[in-house]
Each structure stands twice: as C-alpha cells, then as structure tokens.
Amino acid sequence: MVGERIRDERKRQNITQDELAAQVGLTRTSITNVEKGRQKLLLHTLMQIANILGIPPARLLPTSEREASVKLPQELPRQVRSWIINSISTSTGNKRQK
C-alpha cells in the first residue's frame, strides 16, 4: 500500500523513479522495488520521500488496519507502536482509543 501511494504521488507530480532515487540516495531499482512492495522502507526514508514529494508522511501510510498490507512487528516498543497507530489514525481524523 505504501509503495503504491508513493508511485501514485510520484507520477502525479511527473517525477521519474530516477529523479526520486537520486534525491533520496537510493537506486532506481530500489524505488521500483519499494513501489511494488518487494523492498522494505526505513522510516527515515519514508519521511525523506514525503518531504521530496511535499506531502505529509501520513498520506503515504494505510488509513486503517484493514487497509494495511502488513501488521506491525510485535517486538516494536509500545511507544513506537502507539506513535505509528496514532499517526495513521490522526491522518484520517479518527484517533483510536487505547
């Protein structure tokens, strides 16, 4: 889902994979793999891509658990898990209660 959103926004702005890759410090192949969901994306890279595209990072994230293609790893610290869930929820205006 994240990769699809990156691809859609990149195309909407007429930015090539090569251009995005150069600005992020990745290869074009890595951008292709991220967009197709074959390569994991580090959080700081997601933030950098969102910044380059001029959009909030939350816009690239799934808006609900049902929409998410992967579950959050259980070993994530509680604070990190809460931050991610709240960030996703806040982007849709539906803040979850814990």
Torsion of CA 69, 64, 83, 95, to 10 degrees: 180
Domain boundaries, the chain: 2-60, 63-98
Other Cβ atoms within 10 Å of 67 Cβ, number? 11
48-79 confidence digits (pLDDT tens): 999 999 999 989 987 765 545 546 777 778 78
What pLDDT is recorded for position 65? 54
Enter the pTM of the model.
0.65
Radius of gyration of the chain (CA): 14
**What pLDDT, on a 0 to 100 scale, did the predictor assign at position 94?**
44
Domain 2-60 is classified in which CATH homologous superfamily? lambda repressor-like DNA-binding domains (1.10.260.40)
Rounded to whole angstroms, how far apart are CA atoms 40 and 59? 18
Contact (Cβ atoms closer than 8 angstroms) between residue 17 and residue 6? no
